[in-house]
Homo-oligomer: A and B are copies of this chain.
Amino acid sequence: MGMTGKEYIESLRKLKTRVYMFGEQIENWIDHPIIRPSINCVAMTYELATKPEYQDLMTAKSNLTGKTVNRFAHLHQSTDDLRKKVKMQRLLGQKTASCFQRCVGMDAFNAVYSTTFEVDEKYGTNYHKNFVEYLKFVQENDLIVDGAMTDPKGDRGLAPHAQRDPDLFLHIVERREDGIVVRGAKAHQTGSINSHEHIIMPTIAMGEADKDYAVSFACPSDVEGLYMIYGRQSCDTRKLEDNADVDLGNAKFGGQEALVVFDDVFIPNERIFLCGEYDFAGMLVERFAGYHRQSYGGCKVGVGDVVIGAAALAAEYNGAKKASHVKDKLIEMTHLNETLYCCGIACSAEGWKTKAGNYQIDLLLANVCKQNITRFPYEIVRLAEDIAGGLMVTMPAESDFKSDKVVGKNGETIGQICNKYFGANADVCTTEERMRVLRFLENICLGASAVGYRTESMHGAGSPQAQRIMISRQGNIEGKKELAKVIAGITKVDHGF
Please give, as numbers and ranges, the residues of chain B lying within 8 Å of A418 by CB-CB distance.
229, 259
Please give, as numbers and ranges, the residues of chain B lying within 8 Å of A417 by CB-CB distance.
229, 259, 261
Segment touching B, from A128-136, A197-205, A361-369: A361-369
Whether A187 pairs with B487 at a CB distance below 8 angstroms is: no
Whether B465 pairs with A454 at a CB distance below 8 angstroms is: no
A334 to chain B, nearest CB (A): 4
Please give, as numbers and ranges, the residues of chain B lying within 8 Å of A347 by CB-CB distance.
342
A165 to B419, CA, bound (A): 12
A316 to B157, CA, bound (A): 12
Contact of A23 among B408, B414, B479 (CB under 8 A): B414
Determine the main DSSP class of A at the interface with B: helix
Question: A393 at interface (Cβ–Cβ under 8 A)?
Answer: yes
Whether A245 pairs with B425 at a CB distance below 8 angstroms is: no
Question: A63 at interface (Cβ–Cβ under 8 A)?
Answer: no
Contacts of A361-407 to chain B: CB distance below 8 A: 364-365, 368-369, 371-372, 374-375, 378-379, 382, 385-386, 389-397, 399-400, 402-403, 405, 407
Most buried by B among A446, A460, A487: A487
Closest residue to A442 on the B side, CB-wise? B234
Question: A330 at interface (Cβ–Cβ under 8 A)?
Answer: yes
A residues contacting the other copy or chain, number (CB 8 A): 172
Question: A436 at interface (Cβ–Cβ under 8 A)?
Answer: yes
A487 to B187, CA, bound (A): 27
Contacts of A321-367 to chain B: CB distance below 8 A: 323-325, 327-328, 330-331, 334-335, 338-339, 341-350, 364-365
Question: A319 at interface (Cβ–Cβ under 8 A)?
Answer: yes
Question: A122 at interface (Cβ–Cβ under 8 A)?
Answer: no
In the complex with contacts A306-B484, A339-B339, A167-B334 CB distance below 8 A: no
Contact of A339 among B235, B257, B372, B379 (CB under 8 A): B372
Please give, as numbers and ranges, the residues of chain B lying within 8 Å of A300 by CB-CB distance.
none
A211 to B197, CA, bound (A): 67
In the complex with contacts A229-B418, A257-B393, A451-B446, A495-B23 CB distance below 8 A: no
Question: A480 at interface (Cβ–Cβ under 8 A)?
Answer: yes
In the complex with contacts A309-B477, A393-B233, A490-B436 CB distance below 8 A: yes
Please give, as numbers and ranges, the residues of chain B lying within 8 Å of A227 by CB-CB distance.
407
A464 to B250, CA, bound (A): 27
Please give, as numbers and ranges, the residues of chain B lying within 8 Å of A257 by CB-CB distance.
393-394
Contacts of A21-74 to chain B: CB distance below 8 A: 21-25, 40, 43-44, 47
A60 to B440, CA, bound (A): 45
Question: A421 at interface (Cβ–Cβ under 8 A)?
Answer: yes
Please give, as numbers and ranges, the residues of chain B lying within 8 Å of A4 by CB-CB distance.
496-497
Please give, as numbers and ranges, the residues of chain B lying within 8 Å of A348 by CB-CB distance.
349
A392 to B437, CA, bound (A): 27
A440 to B324, CA, bound (A): 30
A233 to chain B, nearest CB (A): 6
Please give, as numbers and ranges, the residues of chain B lying within 8 Å of A394 by CB-CB distance.
187-188, 231, 257-259
A458 to B442, CA, bound (A): 14
Question: A232 at interface (Cβ–Cβ under 8 A)?
Answer: yes
Question: A14 at interface (Cβ–Cβ under 8 A)?
Answer: no
A354 to chain B, nearest CB (A): 20
In the complex with contacts A20-B414, A405-B20, A368-B345 CB distance below 8 A: no
A146 to chain B, nearest CB (A): 14
Segment touching B, from A110-118, A274-282, A284-292, A467-475: A467-475
Whether A232 pairs with B395 at a CB distance below 8 angstroms is: yes
Contact of A495 among B5, B188, B232, B482 (CB under 8 A): B5
21 A-B residue pairs with Cβ-Cβ distance under 8 Å, sorted by A, are A5-B497, A23-B405, A43-B495, A47-B495, A152-B421, A188-B391, A229-B400, A231-B393, A232-B397, A257-B393, A313-B490, A323-B465, A335-B371, A338-B471, A339-B339, A339-B343, A342-B368, A348-B349, A375-B382, A392-B455, A437-B484
List the 8 closest A-B pairs by CB distance, nearest first: A309-B480, A23-B403, A309-B484, A349-B349, A390-B459, A342-B346, A257-B394, A310-B484
